[in-house]
Structure 1
Amino acid sequence: MLSLLSIHQQSQPLDAVLDTDRFSTINVLSLLGQTLYEANRGNDERALLLLGTALVALQSKKASFALQGVLAADHLVGKIAGERPLETVFRQVPL
């Protein structure tokens, strides 16, 4: 009986969890869901950035996390300042 109470789950390091295929799939699906959400709201530039990040996530987890960090920071600055820096950059790029 005491042995049943002392069963410990083996803890996995964070790197081992992040390297799983299941985590990568969830990350890509989450990015695609965010892409659809932003496209439905009319935020086409942000939707394209998220779609690009999802495509990068298929090849490189680290680059994907870096891009997601940039997008999150842009969103946070937009909430505080009222205008997102990436939108300002897009307006300055000639098409």
Structure 2
Amino acid sequence: MQVVNEFHQVVGELIKRHRAQRMDQRELAARIGCSQRTLTRIEQGQPVNSETLFTALAVLGQLDAFMQVADEKLRAASHLPERKRQTADSELDDDF
């Protein structure tokens, strides 16, 4: 999906630029608990574990901005039901 790829690219570049101002890849990788190769993948815009990605943002002081956007989206969706109820028609068949 193109928008997901763009998200990875933008976040990777954000992490790379903020990291480069303070430390090298080896130091940030140690702080977030991943390999230097994983950090390289993040900075190149490749998908990685979300916990690793969010930890990198937090260590660099950038996670708060993402939390603000997520909070705004959640407030905007507050009128939506918490879950969609399953109807009898949409149940799975048992005949395997």
Asked which structure has the greater RCO (Cα within 8 Å, sep 6+), the reply is 2
Normalising by the smaller structure, the TM-score range is 0.3 to 0.5
Q: Give the TM-score normalised by structure 2.
A: 0.35
